[in-house]
A and B are shown apart, each in its own frame.
Chain A
């Protein structure tokens, strides 16, 4: 079991997956968000290669531009 902290809440996943695949499992369209992994913002092009591991801290931030 891998324990992640996602937007401040602990959550468990069965096995390591990429950022892109993780977003898919929680029903988030990757085009609509920015992901911060362990307080760094990885390049979007690398999301499909970066595998999440136990203890990772993830923030999924929506693109918000309205006013």
Chain B
């Protein structure tokens, strides 16, 4: 048996995991877009689990109002770039993990290059414009995408496998009027709620990497933090989806979101 000195002792004994699963994790490359409320727990769990290469995209700097939920960033990091702050903690947690920083905002120019370097993509951004860009890009590059979002006491999570499952636009066909959708600065966000969703996103990515269990695909999990309940909503491809439907209108990545 593995002894106490082995970092991954408690997970390689898991059924369906083993040394083989650990080797798969160590050879996997996972991108986390956003290192805030969702990204913090995701990055911590992926790093602790020994994912080989973890990419972090964030252009932001650490502000005091981040600290109620963005548990990767501490008081001493105020004013620092989030990717720097994240890298310091993650290297300290597990020096075996290769961290690649992208201190930038994802945009139409850089998204394909960045996403293309990874096997699994996790969306932990805080706005719909980025979410559509990432999910469209993952569709075209055929990358599995773990979508999660949280605001207020609510969260939502789904895993999208291009060519197999419904896409993000099957659920949300078009960008909502951004100003009308409440954000965490309007209605708040509790750190522990972001923690629930972020932890589940990390779990989804780890399962995808080692090929164990069932991911949240073809269904959506919604989380109500006030009732402490999950609901599962089945979800189908839309024949008339602009991205993955029978007669797609979006045939390449484009800036104008329709």
Interface residues, chain A, with chain B CB atoms under 8 Å away = 7-8, 29, 31-32, 34, 36, 39-41, 43-44, 59, 61-67
A66 x B231 contact (CB < 8 A)? no
Chain A residues whose CB sits within 8 angstroms of the CB of B39 once the complex forms? 67
**Is the interface on chain B under 10, 10 to 19, 20 to 34, or 35 or more residues?**
35 or more
How many A-B pairs fall under 8 Å by CB? 78
A65 x B171 contact (CB < 8 A)? no
Chain B residues whose CB sits within 8 angstroms of the CB of A8 once the complex forms? 231
A64 x B156 contact (CB < 8 A)? yes
- Starting from the known contacts A31-B176, A65-B181, A67-B148, 17 additional A-B residue pairs (CB-CB under 8 Å) come to A8-B231, A31-B180, A34-B172, A36-B235, A40-B238, A62-B154, A63-B172, A64-B154, A65-B149, A65-B151, A65-B176, A66-B149, A66-B183, A67-B39, A67-B123, A67-B149, A67-B150
Chain A residues whose CB sits within 8 angstroms of the CB of B235 once the complex forms? 36, 39, 41
Q: How far is the CA of A62 from the CA of B235 in the complex (A)?
A: 15
Chain A residues whose CB sits within 8 angstroms of the CB of B181 once the complex forms? 32, 63, 65
Instruction: Say how far A59's CB is from chain B's closest CB, in angstroms.
Output: 5
Q: B113: CB under 8 A from chain A?
A: no
Q: Out of B36, B154, B156, B233, which one reaches A36, CB within 8 Å? A: B233
Q: Out of A7, A43, A44, which one reaches B231, CB within 8 Å? A: A7
Q: Out of A31, A36, A65, which one reaches B128, CB within 8 Å? A: A65
CB nearest to B222 among chain A residues: A61
Chain A proximity mask over B30-43: 1 for CB below 8 Å, otherwise 0: 00001011110000
B126 x A66 contact (CB < 8 A)? yes
Chain A residues whose CB sits within 8 angstroms of the CB of B148 once the complex forms? 67
State whether A64 and B151 are in contact (beta carbons under 8 Å apart), knowing that A34-B171, A34-B172 are contacts in the complex: yes
Q: Out of B34, B156, B170, B180, which one reaches A61, CB within 8 Å? A: B156
CB nearest to B128 among chain A residues: A65
Q: B177: CB under 8 A from chain A?
A: yes
Chain A residues whose CB sits within 8 angstroms of the CB of B184 once the complex forms? 66
A39 x B238 contact (CB < 8 A)? no
Instruction: Say how far B224's CB is from chain A's closest CB, in angstroms.
Output: 10
Chain A residues whose CB sits within 8 angstroms of the CB of B234 once the complex forms? 39
Chain B residues whose CB sits within 8 angstroms of the CB of A32 once the complex forms? 176, 180-182
Chain A residues whose CB sits within 8 angstroms of the CB of B117 once the complex forms? none
B173 x A43 contact (CB < 8 A)? yes
Q: B85: CB under 8 A from chain A?
A: no
